[in-house]
Chain A
Amino acid sequence: MTLHSLTLHEIHEKLRKREVSSVELTQAVLKQIAKTEDKIHAFITLTEELALAQAKQADDLIQKNKGASPNNFAPLTGIPIALKDIFLMKGTRTTCGSRILSNYVAPYTATSVDNLLKDHAVIIGKLNMDEFAMGSSNETSHFGICHNPWDLKRIPGGSSGGSAAAVAAGDCFGATGTDTGGSIRLPAAFCNLVGIKPTYGRVSRYGVIAFASSLDQVGPLAKDVTDCAILLKALAGHDPRDSTSLNLPVPDYTASLTKDVRGMTIGIPKEYFVEGLDPEIEKAVRTAIDHYQKLGAKIIKVSLPHTTCAVPTYYILAPAEASSNLARYDGIRYGFRHPEARTLLELYTKSRTEGFGPEVKRRIMLGTYVLSAGYYDAYYLKAQKARTLIRNDFEEAFKQCDLLLTPVAPTAAWKIGEKTDDPLKMYLSDIFTINVNLAGLPAMSLPCGFTKGGLGESPLGEPPLPIGMQLIGNHFKEETIFRAAFAYEQANEWHQRRPAL
C-alpha cells in the first residue's frame, strides 16, 4: 500500500517506528497532489515550502525524542494536514473561495489552526470550497469546481468539498472543515469519509471566516473514526477569544473507541425516512440500523415533528447573519477593491458586485430582506421561534435515546451542473443535516455503503458512489458518537475503500 492511502494513525505508527520521516511523507503527498490536482482541483493554495519546513522541524522534534521517551510526540506531529480556505493562517493567502478575498493574506492565525500547529502538524495547503461556505456542491467557488475523486463528473459535496476530495484522494491525512448546515457531513458522505460537526462552541471560531455565526462550527474530515477522534481532540478546546466557546475540558476522544454499543439506545426519527429518499440510500442506512441491533444496541422509533421547518428556518437565519457578516467586505481596508470606482458608493457597489458570486449575492439579498424593518417579525423572529421548536424536539428525543441515526443526504453525489440552475433543489440536499446546526448538536457522517453504480453515459459505466449515515448526539456527547461509530466501523469495511485515481 502506498503511503498516501494510509490513515493518519497508521502514519503516526510509521513515524514512531522511524519507518518514514515527515519530510518523506510530505514529499510523497506533494507528489500525489501533483498527480491528482489537475483532475480534482481540491486546492486553492499550496503551501509547499512552508510544509517542507514544518516537516523538517517535526523530524527534528521526533529525532530529539529518540532518547528517554522516544514515542512522546503528539499523534499529529509531522503529519500533512490541509485547511479549508476559510481558516486564517498568518502570512498565508486566505480566500474563502471568493474573488473579494482573492488577494487577502491573513494577518493572524485561527485558534484551531494554532492548536494543530502546537502539535506540529504539517500544513500542506488551503482547500477549495464553496464561496463563503455557501453551497452544497463546491460549484460556487471563485477558483473553480472541485471534482469528486470517486467519479470526476460529480461534485464532492459542499461546502468543505475541497477538504473531502483532498483527504479521499490521498493529498493529505486529514483536513479541517466548517459545517453551517451540513458542510462537513455532506462532503464526507459523498467522498466516503468520516466527518464530525461537534457541539456548537466545542471548537473555537476565532480566525475562521464567519458565514452564519450562530450555526458555524469547525470540525475535521478524515479517513476513519480514529483519525477523526485524533483531529477533533487537537482542534477543540476553550478559547477566551471566542465568546461562544465552551469552557469545558476536552475529553480524549480516542479513549471512547471501545467497539461496544451494548446498552446504548439508538433512536430512528421517522421524519428522516420519507419520500425523496433514494431507495439505495435508505437500504444502506437500514442495513446499518440492523447492524447496530446485532451489536447489542436497542433500536427505537422516535419523532422529531418540526423537521420539515428546518430548511425554511435555516434559509432565513443563515442569510440574515451572512448579510451582516459579509458587510465588512467593502473594498476599503483589504481584499478586492474595484479599480475604477470614483465615489464612495461606487466603490462599495462595484467592489461587491464584482467581488461576490451569484449564490453569495442571493443570500445577502435574502438576509437583508428578512432583517428589514417591517419584515423582521414575520421572518427573522418567527424563524427564531421555529428554531426553539426544533431544539425542543431533539431535547425530547434525547430523553428516550443516546443517539439518533439518520441518512446524511437524500441521494449520493450528483453530477456537476445538475442542480446549479435550481437553488431550491440544491437547498433540499441539506434536509437531513440542517436541523443539527439549528439545535447546536454534534453529529457525524460515516461510510455505510455504496451505490451499485452501473451503466451510464461513460463507456465504463457509472462507478459505485459512497453512502454515508449520520449519528446525532446530545450536546457535548461527542464521545457517545465516537463510541458507536467505532463499533460500526470495526465490523465493516466501507471506510477502507479508496477511489481509483
Chain B
Amino acid sequence: MSYETVIGLEVHAQLLTATKIFCACSTRFGAAPNENSCPVCLGQPGALPVLNKKVVDYAIRAGLAIGCTIAKKSIFARKNYFYPDLPKGYQISQYELPICTGGAISITVNGEKKTIRLTRIHMEEDAGKLLHEHPTTRSKEASWVDLNRAGVPLIEIVSEPDLRSAEEAVAYLKTLRSILMYLDICDGNMEEGSLRCDANISLKPSGAEKLGTKVEIKNMNSFRHIEKAIAYEVQRQEEALQEGGKIVQETRLWNPEKEVTVPMRSKEEAHDYRYFPDPDLLPLLIEDSWVTAMHQHLPELPTAKRDRFISEHQLSPVDAETLTSSRDLANYYEACVKVYPDAKKVSNWILTELLRELNNSGRSIKQCPIKPERLAGLLQLIDQGTISGKIAKTVFLEMYKTGEPADKIVSRQGLTQVSDTGALEKMIETIIAANPKETERYRAGNEKLIAFFVGQVMKETQGKANPQLINEILRKKLKP
C-alpha cells in the first residue's frame, strides 16, 4: 500500500523586544545566569505580570504579514505544569482566543507553488533553562536553574496539516523565517534557539480522508535536523505500517548523533495542562486603529519584493528568489541598483562574485566589506571603459579584501585599460608579423583564430587592453 505523509508544524519564534513579555527585565542573550531577573519572572510570591505592548505590536505585524485575522479580543491563559525551569508552575500563553487566526504562506518546492494554511499565531512567555553542569565549577553533582530566558516573549505559529514532505516542511520554515526577519521581529538565529520547531507527523493510505495517528517531534533547531528527523520519522512510520504495525500517539525527540527519533512520552503520560484564563491579566482588546498603525509600518515582504524584482527589474524568478531570501541581501541589491540601474548586471555580480566571497569567508551580507555604492562604482568603471570585465574581477577581490573603492585600487595598481589606438595598432602589427602561419590560416577562412590573436594582445598588455578595440583593429589588419 502507498501512504501519504501529513505534516503540521508548530514554530516558536523569539521576539526581538528589548524587555520580557510581562516585566521590564532585559532579553539580552548571553548574560550571566539569573542576571536578567526580577520578582515577576522569578515567580516570587505576590508578583504580577504586566503585558509588554511591544510584544502585541510584533504579534500583530506577524499576523498581518501572513494574512491572519487579528482578534479584537484575545485572552491570556495559564498552562499549568511542574518543571524546575518554570518558576510560576504555569506558563502564560494563549489558548482559546489567540491574537491571530487563519492566514497562509506560499512556498515553492521543485518549481511548484503551494499554499500552506495557518491555524493561529499566539503569544506566550518562554521558560527558563536547566544547567546540568555548573557554569563556573563544571560540577555535575546537581542541576542549576537559569531563569534569564524565563519570560522572554515568543510567538507560536501553528500550521494546518498541509505539508506533505520533509522538503515542504523545510521550505515552509525557510519562508516563515525570512518573513519574520523581514518584519524585524525575530533574528531567526536557530542556534541560539530564536526559532524552534515541533513537527506533527502522520501517515494515511493515499487518497484516504481520515488522518492517521500522529507523532510529535519536539524542539528541533536547524533546517538539517528538521529535514532529517521528518524524513526518518516518515520512513519509520511507513515501515511499521507496511509490516502491519500500528503507530502509537506519542511525543518523540530527535537524536542528532544517532540520527533517529526516540520516544519521550506517550499519550497516557501526556500533560493535562488545565488551561484557564489568567485572572491576573485582563482580556487584550485591540482597536482597529492599532491594527491600522501596524499595517502602515509593514515593510515589503519577500514574496512581494520578489515579484517586483521580476516585473520591474526583469530578473529571472530564480535570481529574484535568491536576492529576496534575506531582507539584508535584498536591501543591498536595491542600494546598488539605486546608483547603478542595470539590474541584471548588479544581480549577476551579487549572485556570483559577492555571494561566493561571502560564503568563502563565512560572512553575512551585513558584514560585507564592500558597500553597495562601491560595488556600483566598480560596474561604472567597466562601462566607462576604464577597466575590462576581466580586470574588474581582480579589482573586486581587492575591494573585498580592503574595502577600498574601485577607482583607488585601479589607479594604485595601474590597471587602467589600454585604449590608445595607435599603440594597439603597432602592437597588433608586430603580433601579425610574428605569427605568419596563423595569419595565413585566418585569412584562408578559419575565423576562430581571432581568439588566438586577442589572447596574444591581452598577454602583451597584461589584460589591460580594451577587448572591443582589439577586435576592431585585428579584423581590420587581418583582412586579406
* A residues lining the B interface (CB < 8 Å): 88, 94, 96, 101, 104, 106-108, 110, 205-210, 212-214, 240-244, 320-321, 323-324, 326-328, 330, 332-334, 344, 348, 368, 371-373, 376, 380
User: When the two chains form their complex, are residues B89 and A244 in contact, meaning their CB atoms are under 8 A apart?
Assistant: no
Known: A206-B46, A333-B145, A373-B272. A243 touches B82 (CB 8 A): no
Does any Cβ of A come within 8 Å of B133's Cβ?
A: no
Does any Cβ of A come within 8 Å of B463's Cβ?
A: no
Interface centre among B44, B46, B51 (most CB of A within 10 A): B46
User: When the two chains form their complex, are residues A244 and B282 in contact, meaning their CB atoms are under 8 A apart?
Assistant: yes
Known: A213-B280, A242-B48, A327-B89. A344 touches B84 (CB 8 A): yes
Chain A neighbourhood of B274, CB < 8 A: 323-324, 368, 371-373, 376
The B279-315 residues at the A interface (CB cut-off 8 A) are 279-282
User: When the two chains form their complex, are residues B145 and A332 in contact, meaning their CB atoms are under 8 A apart?
Assistant: yes
For this complex, 18 residue pairs linking A to B, each with C-beta atoms less than 8 Å apart, are A107-B44, A205-B46, A205-B48, A206-B47, A208-B46, A241-B50, A242-B48, A243-B51, A243-B280, A243-B281, A321-B279, A323-B80, A323-B274, A324-B90, A327-B88, A333-B43, A373-B274, A376-B276
User: When the two chains form their complex, are residues A209 and B46 in contact, meaning their CB atoms are under 8 A apart?
Assistant: yes
CB nearest to B282 among chain A residues? A243
User: When the two chains form their complex, are residues B84 and A332 in contact, meaning their CB atoms are under 8 A apart?
Assistant: yes
Known: A324-B89, A344-B84, A373-B274. A206 touches B48 (CB 8 A): yes
Chain A neighbourhood of B88, CB < 8 A: 327-328
A8-B268 Cα distance, complex, nearest whole Å: 60
Known: A104-B45, A320-B276, A324-B80. A240 touches B87 (CB 8 A): no
CB nearest to A213 among chain B residues? B279
User: When the two chains form their complex, are residues A324 and B276 in contact, meaning their CB atoms are under 8 A apart?
Assistant: yes
Interface centre among B50, B80, B279, B282 (most CB of A within 10 A): B279
Closest Cβ–Cβ distance, residue A36 to chain B (whole Å): 29
Closest Cβ–Cβ distance, residue B99 to chain A (whole Å): 16
A212-B280 Cα distance, complex, nearest whole Å: 10
Interface centre among A206, A344, A380 (most CB of B within 10 A): A206
CB nearest to A367 among chain B residues? B274
Chain B neighbourhood of A207, CB < 8 A: 46-47
User: When the two chains form their complex, are residues A333 and B42 in contact, meaning their CB atoms are under 8 A apart?
Assistant: yes
User: When the two chains form their complex, are residues A327 and B80 in contact, meaning their CB atoms are under 8 A apart?
Assistant: yes
Does any Cβ of A come within 8 Å of B78's Cβ?
A: yes
User: When the two chains form their complex, are residues A108 and B39 in contact, meaning their CB atoms are under 8 A apart?
Assistant: yes
Closest Cβ–Cβ distance, residue B281 to chain A (whole Å): 5
Known: A324-B80, A327-B82, A371-B274. A88 touches B46 (CB 8 A): yes
Chain A neighbourhood of B46, CB < 8 A: 88, 106, 110, 205-210
A108-B23 Cα distance, complex, nearest whole Å: 15
Does any Cβ of A come within 8 Å of B369's Cβ?
A: no
The B72-89 residues at the A interface (CB cut-off 8 A) are 78, 80, 82, 84, 87-89
CB nearest to A132 among chain B residues? B45
Closest Cβ–Cβ distance, residue A43 to chain B (whole Å): 20
Interface of A is mostly: loop
CB nearest to B280 among chain A residues? A213
A110-B45 Cα distance, complex, nearest whole Å: 10
A88-B82 Cα distance, complex, nearest whole Å: 25
Interface of B is mostly: loop
Closest Cβ–Cβ distance, residue B155 to chain A (whole Å): 20
A61-B450 Cα distance, complex, nearest whole Å: 104
B45's partner among A209, A320, A371 (CB-CB below 8 A) is: A209
Chain A neighbourhood of B48, CB < 8 A: 205-206, 241-244
User: When the two chains form their complex, are residues B45 and A88 in contact, meaning their CB atoms are under 8 A apart?
Assistant: yes
CB nearest to B38 among chain A residues? A108
A321-B279 Cα distance, complex, nearest whole Å: 8
Closest Cβ–Cβ distance, residue B216 to chain A (whole Å): 17
A240-B47 Cα distance, complex, nearest whole Å: 12
CB nearest to A108 among chain B residues? B39
User: When the two chains form their complex, are residues A334 and B80 in contact, meaning their CB atoms are under 8 A apart?
Assistant: no
Does any Cβ of A come within 8 Å of B389's Cβ?
A: no
Chain B neighbourhood of A101, CB < 8 A: 45
Interface centre among B42, B50, B275 (most CB of A within 10 A): B50
A333-B130 Cα distance, complex, nearest whole Å: 13
Does any Cβ of A come within 8 Å of B385's Cβ?
A: no
Interface centre among A243, A321, A334 (most CB of B within 10 A): A243
A104-B45 Cα distance, complex, nearest whole Å: 10
Closest Cβ–Cβ distance, residue B97 to chain A (whole Å): 14
Chain B neighbourhood of A321, CB < 8 A: 279
Does any Cβ of A come within 8 Å of B49's Cβ?
A: yes
Chain A neighbourhood of B84, CB < 8 A: 330, 332, 344
Closest Cβ–Cβ distance, residue A18 to chain B (whole Å): 38
User: When the two chains form their complex, are residues A330 and B89 in contact, meaning their CB atoms are under 8 A apart?
Assistant: yes
A376-B78 Cα distance, complex, nearest whole Å: 14
Closest Cβ–Cβ distance, residue B231 to chain A (whole Å): 33
B272's partner among A241, A372, A380 (CB-CB below 8 A) is: A372
User: When the two chains form their complex, are residues B276 and A371 in contact, meaning their CB atoms are under 8 A apart?
Assistant: yes
CB nearest to A101 among chain B residues? B45
User: When the two chains form their complex, are residues B89 and A328 in contact, meaning their CB atoms are under 8 A apart?
Assistant: yes
A167-B82 Cα distance, complex, nearest whole Å: 40
A242-B282 Cα distance, complex, nearest whole Å: 10
Chain A neighbourhood of B45, CB < 8 A: 88, 94, 96, 101, 104, 106, 209-210, 328
- Encode contact with A along B86-115: 1 for CB under 8 Å, 0 otherwise: 011110000000000000000000000000
User: When the two chains form their complex, are residues B276 and A380 in contact, meaning their CB atoms are under 8 A apart?
Assistant: yes
A380-B282 Cα distance, complex, nearest whole Å: 18
Closest Cβ–Cβ distance, residue B54 to chain A (whole Å): 16
A210-B278 Cα distance, complex, nearest whole Å: 13
Chain A neighbourhood of B39, CB < 8 A: 107-108
Chain B neighbourhood of A205, CB < 8 A: 46, 48
Chain A neighbourhood of B43, CB < 8 A: 328, 333
- Encode contact with A along B11-47: 1 for CB under 8 Å, 0 otherwise: 0000000000000000000000000000100111111
CB nearest to A320 among chain B residues? B276
Chain A neighbourhood of B82, CB < 8 A: 327, 330, 348
A96-B46 Cα distance, complex, nearest whole Å: 11
A106-B45 Cα distance, complex, nearest whole Å: 8
A372-B270 Cα distance, complex, nearest whole Å: 13
Chain B neighbourhood of A320, CB < 8 A: 276
Chain A neighbourhood of B47, CB < 8 A: 206-207
User: When the two chains form their complex, are residues B50 and A334 in contact, meaning their CB atoms are under 8 A apart?
Assistant: no
